[in-house]
Structure 1
Amino acid sequence: MRKIASNDELMTTRQAGEALGVAVRTVQLWVESGVLPAWRTAGGHRRIARSAVEKLMAERSQVIEHAPAPVEPDGGGEPGKRALRLLVVEDDPDLLRLFSLTVEGWDFPVEFSAASNGFEGLVRIGQLRPDMVITDLNMPGMDGFQMIRSLKKPGSGFDDLAVIAVTALSKGDIADRGGLPSDVTVFQKPVPFGEIEDMARAQRLRAVGQAIGR
Protein backbone atom coordinates (compact mmCIF):
# COMPACT_ATOMS: atom_id res chain seq x y z
CA MET A 1 0.00 0.00 0.00
CA ARG A 2 1.29 3.44 -0.92
CA LYS A 3 2.31 5.61 2.04
CA ILE A 4 0.99 9.14 2.29
CA ALA A 5 1.71 12.07 4.54
CA SER A 6 -0.50 12.09 7.62
CA ASN A 7 -1.75 15.58 6.76
CA ASP A 8 -2.58 14.75 3.11
CA GLU A 9 -6.33 15.05 2.55
CA LEU A 10 -8.03 12.04 0.98
CA MET A 11 -10.55 12.23 -1.86
CA THR A 12 -13.08 9.82 -3.34
CA THR A 13 -13.05 9.09 -7.07
CA ARG A 14 -16.11 11.31 -7.46
CA GLN A 15 -14.40 14.22 -5.68
CA ALA A 16 -11.26 13.71 -7.77
CA GLY A 17 -13.37 13.68 -10.94
CA GLU A 18 -15.07 16.93 -9.98
CA ALA A 19 -11.70 18.56 -9.27
CA LEU A 20 -10.21 17.32 -12.55
CA GLY A 21 -13.33 17.98 -14.61
CA VAL A 22 -13.70 14.39 -15.83
CA ALA A 23 -16.12 11.51 -15.29
CA VAL A 24 -15.70 9.07 -12.41
CA ARG A 25 -14.98 6.29 -14.94
CA THR A 26 -12.09 8.33 -16.34
CA VAL A 27 -10.64 8.70 -12.84
CA GLN A 28 -10.96 4.93 -12.41
CA LEU A 29 -9.14 4.38 -15.72
CA TRP A 30 -6.31 6.67 -14.63
CA VAL A 31 -6.09 4.85 -11.29
CA GLU A 32 -6.04 1.40 -12.92
CA SER A 33 -3.35 2.46 -15.41
CA GLY A 34 -1.15 4.09 -12.76
CA VAL A 35 -1.63 7.66 -13.98
CA LEU A 36 -3.27 8.58 -10.67
CA PRO A 37 -1.96 6.80 -7.53
CA ALA A 38 -4.67 5.43 -5.25
CA TRP A 39 -5.44 2.58 -2.88
CA ARG A 40 -8.47 0.83 -1.43
CA THR A 41 -9.91 1.10 2.04
CA ALA A 42 -10.78 -2.01 4.06
CA GLY A 43 -14.29 -1.63 2.65
CA GLY A 44 -13.00 -1.73 -0.94
CA HIS A 45 -13.43 1.97 -1.75
CA ARG A 46 -10.75 3.86 -3.67
CA ARG A 47 -9.08 6.82 -1.98
CA ILE A 48 -6.79 9.35 -3.65
CA ALA A 49 -4.48 11.87 -2.02
CA ARG A 50 -5.37 15.47 -2.82
CA SER A 51 -1.68 16.12 -3.53
CA ALA A 52 -1.78 13.46 -6.28
CA VAL A 53 -4.87 15.09 -7.81
CA GLU A 54 -3.23 18.53 -7.72
CA LYS A 55 -0.07 17.10 -9.31
CA LEU A 56 -2.13 15.58 -12.13
CA MET A 57 -4.01 18.86 -12.58
CA ALA A 58 -0.68 20.65 -13.08
CA GLU A 59 0.52 17.99 -15.53
CA ARG A 60 -2.76 18.17 -17.46
CA SER A 61 -2.35 21.94 -17.74
CA GLN A 62 1.08 21.44 -19.30
CA VAL A 63 -0.28 18.82 -21.73
CA ILE A 64 -3.15 21.08 -22.78
CA GLU A 65 -0.92 24.15 -23.04
CA HIS A 66 1.45 22.44 -25.48
CA ALA A 67 -1.19 20.57 -27.48
CA PRO A 68 -1.95 21.63 -31.06
CA ALA A 69 -5.27 23.37 -31.61
CA PRO A 70 -7.96 21.45 -33.51
CA VAL A 71 -7.53 21.87 -37.26
CA GLU A 72 -11.28 21.98 -37.98
CA PRO A 73 -14.38 23.09 -36.04
CA ASP A 74 -16.88 20.51 -34.75
CA GLY A 75 -19.59 21.22 -37.31
CA GLY A 76 -21.44 23.90 -35.37
CA GLY A 77 -23.46 21.30 -33.48
CA GLU A 78 -24.93 19.74 -36.65
CA PRO A 79 -24.43 15.93 -36.48
CA GLY A 80 -23.84 15.60 -40.24
CA LYS A 81 -20.95 18.06 -40.06
CA ARG A 82 -19.43 16.55 -36.94
CA ALA A 83 -15.64 16.41 -36.99
CA LEU A 84 -13.73 13.22 -36.28
CA ARG A 85 -11.95 13.59 -32.94
CA LEU A 86 -8.50 12.15 -33.63
CA LEU A 87 -5.67 11.75 -31.11
CA VAL A 88 -2.15 10.85 -32.27
CA VAL A 89 0.27 9.59 -29.61
CA GLU A 90 3.83 9.83 -30.94
CA ASP A 91 7.13 10.93 -29.39
CA ASP A 92 8.81 11.89 -32.69
CA PRO A 93 7.97 15.59 -33.25
CA ASP A 94 8.76 15.40 -36.97
CA LEU A 95 6.39 12.47 -37.49
CA LEU A 96 3.77 14.19 -35.36
CA ARG A 97 4.04 17.26 -37.59
CA LEU A 98 3.68 15.04 -40.66
CA PHE A 99 0.49 13.56 -39.19
CA SER A 100 -0.87 17.06 -38.57
CA LEU A 101 -0.08 18.28 -42.10
CA THR A 102 -1.54 15.14 -43.67
CA VAL A 103 -4.77 15.36 -41.68
CA GLU A 104 -5.20 18.97 -42.78
CA GLY A 105 -5.46 17.69 -46.35
CA TRP A 106 -8.25 15.19 -45.68
CA ASP A 107 -11.64 15.95 -47.27
CA PHE A 108 -13.64 15.65 -44.04
CA PRO A 109 -13.49 17.66 -40.81
CA VAL A 110 -11.06 16.51 -38.12
CA GLU A 111 -10.25 17.75 -34.63
CA PHE A 112 -6.56 16.83 -34.34
CA SER A 113 -4.90 16.47 -30.94
CA ALA A 114 -1.53 15.05 -29.94
CA ALA A 115 0.35 13.49 -27.04
CA SER A 116 3.99 12.43 -26.75
CA ASN A 117 3.66 9.28 -24.61
CA GLY A 118 1.11 6.92 -23.10
CA PHE A 119 0.66 8.98 -19.95
CA GLU A 120 -0.20 12.12 -21.90
CA GLY A 121 -2.33 9.97 -24.18
CA LEU A 122 -4.50 8.73 -21.31
CA VAL A 123 -4.86 12.27 -19.99
CA ARG A 124 -5.95 13.54 -23.41
CA ILE A 125 -8.31 10.61 -23.92
CA GLY A 126 -10.02 11.33 -20.62
CA GLN A 127 -10.33 15.00 -21.55
CA LEU A 128 -11.32 14.72 -25.23
CA ARG A 129 -13.14 11.37 -25.61
CA PRO A 130 -11.67 10.87 -29.12
CA ASP A 131 -13.29 8.74 -31.82
CA MET A 132 -9.95 7.29 -32.89
CA VAL A 133 -6.45 6.99 -31.43
CA ILE A 134 -3.31 6.42 -33.50
CA THR A 135 -0.30 5.51 -31.40
CA ASP A 136 3.33 4.49 -31.59
CA LEU A 137 4.32 1.55 -29.39
CA ASN A 138 7.89 2.41 -28.37
CA MET A 139 7.81 5.64 -26.36
CA PRO A 140 9.49 6.93 -23.19
CA GLY A 141 7.66 6.65 -19.90
CA MET A 142 4.36 4.84 -20.41
CA ASP A 143 4.59 3.19 -23.83
CA GLY A 144 1.86 2.37 -26.31
CA PHE A 145 1.48 -1.19 -25.05
CA GLN A 146 0.61 -0.03 -21.53
CA MET A 147 -1.75 2.66 -22.77
CA ILE A 148 -3.62 0.32 -25.11
CA ARG A 149 -3.99 -2.40 -22.50
CA SER A 150 -5.41 0.12 -20.04
CA LEU A 151 -7.91 1.34 -22.64
CA LYS A 152 -8.95 -2.13 -23.78
CA LYS A 153 -9.43 -3.58 -20.32
CA PRO A 154 -13.06 -4.81 -20.02
CA GLY A 155 -15.20 -2.25 -18.26
CA SER A 156 -12.72 0.58 -18.82
CA GLY A 157 -15.34 2.65 -20.60
CA PHE A 158 -12.97 2.97 -23.57
CA ASP A 159 -12.77 -0.69 -24.62
CA ASP A 160 -14.67 0.01 -27.87
CA LEU A 161 -12.43 2.95 -28.84
CA ALA A 162 -10.93 2.63 -32.34
CA VAL A 163 -7.15 2.24 -31.91
CA ILE A 164 -4.46 2.02 -34.58
CA ALA A 165 -0.85 1.19 -33.69
CA VAL A 166 1.86 2.36 -36.09
CA THR A 167 5.25 0.89 -35.26
CA ALA A 168 8.68 -0.14 -36.47
CA LEU A 169 8.40 -3.32 -34.38
CA SER A 170 7.92 -6.63 -36.18
CA LYS A 171 5.03 -8.99 -35.47
CA GLY A 172 7.48 -11.15 -33.55
CA ASP A 173 8.65 -8.20 -31.45
CA ILE A 174 5.04 -7.32 -30.60
CA ALA A 175 4.28 -10.94 -29.66
CA ASP A 176 7.38 -11.07 -27.44
CA ARG A 177 6.06 -8.06 -25.53
CA GLY A 178 2.72 -9.68 -24.81
CA GLY A 179 0.88 -8.82 -28.02
CA LEU A 180 -2.03 -6.44 -28.46
CA PRO A 181 -5.83 -6.83 -28.25
CA SER A 182 -7.33 -8.37 -31.39
CA ASP A 183 -9.37 -5.28 -32.27
CA VAL A 184 -6.29 -3.04 -32.49
CA THR A 185 -5.18 -2.45 -36.09
CA VAL A 186 -1.38 -2.62 -36.45
CA PHE A 187 0.52 -0.98 -39.31
CA GLN A 188 4.26 -1.12 -39.88
CA LYS A 189 6.20 2.09 -40.48
CA PRO A 190 6.46 3.96 -42.81
CA VAL A 191 3.00 5.24 -41.98
CA PRO A 192 0.36 4.11 -44.54
CA PHE A 193 -1.51 7.42 -44.57
CA GLY A 194 -3.93 6.36 -47.31
CA GLU A 195 -5.20 3.34 -45.37
CA ILE A 196 -5.43 5.37 -42.18
CA GLU A 197 -7.44 8.06 -43.98
CA ASP A 198 -9.92 5.44 -45.19
CA MET A 199 -10.31 4.05 -41.67
CA ALA A 200 -10.68 7.55 -40.22
CA ARG A 201 -13.37 8.45 -42.77
CA ALA A 202 -15.32 5.28 -41.92
CA GLN A 203 -14.96 5.94 -38.19
CA ARG A 204 -16.27 9.48 -38.63
CA LEU A 205 -19.33 8.18 -40.48
CA ARG A 206 -20.01 5.78 -37.62
CA ALA A 207 -19.70 8.64 -35.12
CA VAL A 208 -22.05 10.80 -37.22
CA GLY A 209 -24.56 7.96 -37.41
CA GLN A 210 -24.47 7.52 -33.64
CA ALA A 211 -24.95 11.26 -33.12
CA ILE A 212 -27.96 11.35 -35.47
CA GLY A 213 -29.46 8.28 -33.83
CA ARG A 214 -29.47 9.81 -30.37
Structure 2
Amino acid sequence: MKTKDAAPDEVCTTQQAAEILGISVSSVQQLVEAGVIEAWKTKGGHRRIPRHAVLAYKSTPSPALGSRAAAGGVAPRELAADGLVSIMVIEDNPMQRALYERQIGAWDLPVRLSFCENGYQALLQIARSQPDVLLADIVMEGIDGYEVVKTILDDPKLASMQIAILSGLTAQQLDERGGVPPGVVFFAKPVNYDELRGYLRACIAQRLRVLK
Protein backbone atom coordinates (compact mmCIF):
# COMPACT_ATOMS: atom_id res chain seq x y z
CA MET A 1 0.00 0.00 0.00
CA LYS A 2 1.26 3.44 -0.92
CA THR A 3 1.27 6.49 1.30
CA LYS A 4 -0.62 9.46 -0.14
CA ASP A 5 -3.26 12.06 0.60
CA ALA A 6 -6.82 12.24 -0.77
CA ALA A 7 -9.97 14.21 -0.23
CA PRO A 8 -11.79 12.89 2.88
CA ASP A 9 -15.12 12.48 1.06
CA GLU A 10 -13.47 10.15 -1.49
CA VAL A 11 -12.04 7.66 1.03
CA CYS A 12 -13.17 5.39 3.85
CA THR A 13 -11.58 4.16 7.03
CA THR A 14 -11.60 0.40 7.58
CA GLN A 15 -14.51 0.89 10.00
CA GLN A 16 -16.54 2.78 7.39
CA ALA A 17 -15.71 0.18 4.74
CA ALA A 18 -16.81 -2.59 7.11
CA GLU A 19 -20.15 -0.82 7.69
CA ILE A 20 -20.74 -0.41 3.94
CA LEU A 21 -19.91 -4.07 3.21
CA GLY A 22 -21.62 -5.50 6.30
CA ILE A 23 -18.52 -7.39 7.43
CA SER A 24 -16.03 -7.02 10.28
CA VAL A 25 -13.12 -4.58 10.35
CA SER A 26 -10.68 -7.51 10.47
CA SER A 27 -12.26 -8.95 7.31
CA VAL A 28 -11.79 -5.62 5.53
CA GLN A 29 -8.16 -5.60 6.65
CA GLN A 30 -7.71 -9.12 5.24
CA LEU A 31 -9.26 -8.08 1.92
CA VAL A 32 -6.86 -5.14 1.77
CA GLU A 33 -3.81 -7.24 2.65
CA ALA A 34 -4.80 -9.82 0.04
CA GLY A 35 -4.97 -7.05 -2.58
CA VAL A 36 -8.67 -7.62 -3.24
CA ILE A 37 -9.59 -4.06 -2.23
CA GLU A 38 -7.30 -1.15 -3.12
CA ALA A 39 -5.97 0.88 -0.17
CA TRP A 40 -3.04 2.96 1.04
CA LYS A 41 -1.65 4.31 4.28
CA THR A 42 -1.58 7.93 5.37
CA LYS A 43 1.59 9.57 6.64
CA GLY A 44 0.35 8.71 10.12
CA GLY A 45 0.12 5.01 9.22
CA HIS A 46 -3.70 4.76 8.99
CA ARG A 47 -5.37 2.72 6.26
CA ARG A 48 -7.49 4.64 3.77
CA ILE A 49 -9.67 2.93 1.19
CA PRO A 50 -11.13 4.63 -1.90
CA ARG A 51 -14.91 4.68 -1.59
CA HIS A 52 -15.23 3.59 -5.22
CA ALA A 53 -13.14 0.48 -4.44
CA VAL A 54 -15.46 -0.47 -1.57
CA LEU A 55 -18.55 0.03 -3.71
CA ALA A 56 -16.98 -1.88 -6.59
CA TYR A 57 -16.25 -4.85 -4.32
CA LYS A 58 -19.80 -4.74 -2.94
CA SER A 59 -21.35 -4.78 -6.41
CA THR A 60 -19.09 -7.44 -7.94
CA PRO A 61 -20.48 -10.98 -7.61
CA SER A 62 -17.25 -12.93 -7.69
CA PRO A 63 -14.34 -11.51 -5.62
CA ALA A 64 -13.33 -13.70 -2.70
CA LEU A 65 -11.38 -13.26 0.48
CA GLY A 66 -8.15 -14.74 -0.80
CA SER A 67 -9.94 -16.78 -3.46
CA ARG A 68 -8.09 -18.24 -6.42
CA ALA A 69 -11.22 -19.14 -8.39
CA ALA A 70 -11.44 -15.96 -10.42
CA ALA A 71 -7.83 -16.18 -11.54
CA GLY A 72 -8.23 -19.81 -12.53
CA GLY A 73 -11.54 -19.36 -14.29
CA VAL A 74 -13.14 -22.05 -12.13
CA ALA A 75 -16.92 -22.02 -11.94
CA PRO A 76 -18.21 -21.94 -8.34
CA ARG A 77 -19.84 -25.10 -7.04
CA GLU A 78 -23.46 -25.07 -5.95
CA LEU A 79 -24.32 -25.20 -2.27
CA ALA A 80 -25.24 -28.53 -0.77
CA ALA A 81 -28.90 -29.53 -0.64
CA ASP A 82 -29.19 -28.22 2.93
CA GLY A 83 -28.15 -24.73 1.76
CA LEU A 84 -25.30 -24.53 4.27
CA VAL A 85 -21.71 -23.45 3.68
CA SER A 86 -19.38 -26.33 4.57
CA ILE A 87 -16.40 -25.70 6.85
CA MET A 88 -13.72 -28.32 7.48
CA VAL A 89 -11.36 -27.96 10.44
CA ILE A 90 -8.09 -29.90 10.58
CA GLU A 91 -6.93 -30.07 14.20
CA ASP A 92 -5.20 -32.93 16.02
CA ASN A 93 -5.89 -31.63 19.54
CA PRO A 94 -9.31 -32.91 20.75
CA MET A 95 -9.71 -30.06 23.25
CA GLN A 96 -9.06 -27.50 20.50
CA ARG A 97 -11.56 -29.24 18.20
CA ALA A 98 -14.19 -29.07 20.96
CA LEU A 99 -13.43 -25.38 21.46
CA TYR A 100 -13.82 -24.62 17.75
CA GLU A 101 -17.09 -26.55 17.66
CA ARG A 102 -18.46 -24.66 20.65
CA GLN A 103 -17.33 -21.23 19.45
CA ILE A 104 -18.42 -21.55 15.81
CA GLY A 105 -21.67 -23.24 16.84
CA ALA A 106 -22.51 -20.31 19.11
CA TRP A 107 -22.28 -17.80 16.24
CA ASP A 108 -25.47 -19.04 14.57
CA LEU A 109 -23.90 -19.08 11.10
CA PRO A 110 -25.42 -21.00 8.16
CA VAL A 111 -22.61 -23.55 8.16
CA ARG A 112 -22.02 -27.27 8.42
CA LEU A 113 -18.91 -28.18 10.39
CA SER A 114 -16.71 -31.22 9.95
CA PHE A 115 -13.46 -32.11 11.70
CA CYS A 116 -10.36 -34.09 10.77
CA GLU A 117 -7.70 -35.25 13.20
CA ASN A 118 -4.82 -35.37 10.72
CA GLY A 119 -3.74 -34.44 7.22
CA TYR A 120 -4.28 -37.88 5.72
CA GLN A 121 -7.89 -38.00 6.88
CA ALA A 122 -8.39 -34.44 5.63
CA LEU A 123 -7.16 -35.22 2.11
CA LEU A 124 -9.55 -38.17 1.87
CA GLN A 125 -12.52 -36.10 3.03
CA ILE A 126 -11.61 -33.14 0.80
CA ALA A 127 -11.52 -35.46 -2.22
CA ARG A 128 -15.02 -36.68 -1.34
CA SER A 129 -16.79 -33.54 -0.15
CA GLN A 130 -14.72 -30.48 -1.26
CA PRO A 131 -15.63 -28.09 1.59
CA ASP A 132 -16.20 -24.39 0.94
CA VAL A 133 -13.86 -23.26 3.73
CA LEU A 134 -10.82 -24.98 5.24
CA LEU A 135 -9.34 -24.07 8.63
CA ALA A 136 -6.04 -25.91 9.00
CA ASP A 137 -3.65 -26.42 11.86
CA ILE A 138 -0.06 -26.86 10.69
CA VAL A 139 1.93 -29.00 13.11
CA MET A 140 0.59 -32.56 13.04
CA GLU A 141 2.00 -36.07 12.83
CA GLY A 142 2.42 -37.57 9.36
CA ILE A 143 0.91 -35.35 6.66
CA ASP A 144 0.80 -31.92 8.28
CA GLY A 145 -1.54 -29.04 7.54
CA TYR A 146 1.01 -27.28 5.36
CA GLU A 147 1.16 -30.26 3.00
CA VAL A 148 -2.65 -30.35 2.84
CA VAL A 149 -2.79 -26.64 1.97
CA LYS A 150 -0.14 -27.00 -0.75
CA THR A 151 -1.99 -29.98 -2.22
CA ILE A 152 -5.20 -27.94 -2.44
CA LEU A 153 -3.42 -24.97 -4.00
CA ASP A 154 -1.97 -27.25 -6.68
CA ASP A 155 -5.40 -28.61 -7.67
CA PRO A 156 -7.38 -26.31 -10.02
CA LYS A 157 -10.60 -28.14 -9.11
CA LEU A 158 -10.28 -26.82 -5.54
CA ALA A 159 -9.57 -23.21 -6.53
CA SER A 160 -12.82 -21.87 -5.07
CA MET A 161 -12.01 -23.15 -1.57
CA GLN A 162 -11.27 -20.49 1.06
CA ILE A 163 -8.27 -21.46 3.21
CA ALA A 164 -7.07 -20.18 6.56
CA ILE A 165 -4.10 -21.42 8.57
CA LEU A 166 -4.50 -21.43 12.35
CA SER A 167 -1.15 -22.04 13.99
CA GLY A 168 1.05 -21.36 16.98
CA LEU A 169 4.13 -21.21 14.74
CA THR A 170 6.07 -17.97 14.75
CA ALA A 171 6.51 -15.86 11.62
CA GLN A 172 10.09 -17.12 11.33
CA GLN A 173 9.00 -20.75 11.60
CA LEU A 174 6.37 -20.19 8.93
CA ASP A 175 8.94 -18.52 6.68
CA GLU A 176 11.19 -21.57 7.08
CA ARG A 177 8.32 -23.68 5.71
CA GLY A 178 7.85 -21.33 2.75
CA GLY A 179 5.65 -18.66 4.35
CA VAL A 180 1.92 -18.19 4.13
CA PRO A 181 0.89 -18.97 0.52
CA PRO A 182 -0.78 -16.21 -1.52
CA GLY A 183 -4.54 -16.18 -1.05
CA VAL A 184 -4.33 -17.98 2.31
CA VAL A 185 -5.27 -16.15 5.52
CA PHE A 186 -3.23 -16.67 8.70
CA PHE A 187 -4.54 -16.64 12.28
CA ALA A 188 -2.01 -16.91 15.10
CA LYS A 189 -2.88 -19.13 18.06
CA PRO A 190 -4.37 -18.45 20.52
CA VAL A 191 -6.97 -17.52 17.94
CA ASN A 192 -8.78 -14.20 18.19
CA TYR A 193 -12.33 -15.48 17.82
CA ASP A 194 -13.76 -12.09 16.90
CA GLU A 195 -11.41 -12.02 13.90
CA LEU A 196 -12.20 -15.63 13.01
CA ARG A 197 -15.92 -14.92 13.15
CA GLY A 198 -15.44 -11.90 10.87
CA TYR A 199 -13.45 -14.01 8.42
CA LEU A 200 -16.08 -16.75 8.32
CA ARG A 201 -18.89 -14.22 7.87
CA ALA A 202 -17.01 -12.71 4.93
CA CYS A 203 -16.46 -16.17 3.40
CA ILE A 204 -20.14 -17.03 3.79
CA ALA A 205 -21.32 -13.72 2.36
CA GLN A 206 -19.01 -14.07 -0.64
CA ARG A 207 -20.05 -17.68 -1.23
CA LEU A 208 -23.74 -16.81 -1.20
CA ARG A 209 -23.20 -13.71 -3.35
CA VAL A 210 -21.41 -15.73 -6.03
CA LEU A 211 -24.31 -18.16 -6.26
CA LYS A 212 -27.09 -15.56 -6.52
TMscore range, shorter length: 0.5 to 0.7
The residue number in structure 2 matching 1:133 is: 134
Q: Which runs of structure 2 are paired with 1:1-214 in the superposition (5 Å)?
A: 82-153=83-154, 155-212=155-212
Q: Is the alpha carbon distance of 1:76 and 1:144 closer, same or farther for their aligned partners in structure 2, counting shifts above 3 Å? A: closer
| Counterpart secondary structure, 2:135 | strand
Q: CA deviation at 1:180?
A: 3.0
Segments of structure 1 that go 5 or more residues without pairing to the other structure are: 1-73
- Give the residue type in structure 2 aligned to 1:137: I
The one-letter amino acid paired with 2:105 is E
The residue type paired with residue 144 of structure 1 is G
- Per mean C-alpha deviation after superposition, the further-off stretch among 91-100 and 126-135 is 126-135
Structure 2: gaps of 5 or more residues: 1-78
Cα offset, 1:76, TM superposition = 6.2
Q: What is the CA–CA distance in structure 1 between the aligned matches of 2:152 and 2:110, rounded to whole Å?
A: 25
Q: Distance in 1 between matches of 2:194 and 2:129?
A: 25
Instruction: Name the CA distance, whole Å, in 2 between partners of 1:93 and 1:119.
Output: 17
3-state secondary structure, aligned to 2:173:
helix
List per-residue Cα deviations over 1:165-204 (Å, max 9, x = no partner): 1111001001112223121111111011111111111111
Q: Is the 8 A contact 1:86 1:133 kept in 2?
A: yes
Deviation at 1:206, TM superposition (A): 1.6
Q: How many aligned positions are there?
A: 134
Aligned to 1:66: none
Give the aligned partner of residue 5 of structure 1. Answer: none
Return closer, same or farther for 1:156/1:89 CA change in 2, 3 Å cut-off: same
Distance in structure 1 (CA, Å) of the matches to 2:201 and 2:124 = 25
**Partners in 2 of 1:76 and 1:158 — Cα distance?**
19
Determine the C-alpha separation between the residues in 2 that align with 1:93 and 1:103: 15
Kindly report the root-mean-square deviation, in angstroms, between the aligned alpha carbons of the 2 structures.
1.8
Letter in 1 for 2:172: G
Residue identity matched to 2:159: D
Higher RCO by CA contacts (8 Å cutoff, separation 6 or greater): 2
Q: CA deviation at 1:119?
A: 1.2
SS of the residue corresponding to residue 157 of structure 1 reads helix
Structure 2: how far apart are the matches of 1:120 and 1:180? 22
What is the aligned-residue identity percentage?
25
SS at match of 2:158: coil
- Residue 133 of structure 1 aligns to a residue whose secondary structure is strand
* Aligned residue identity for 2:176: D
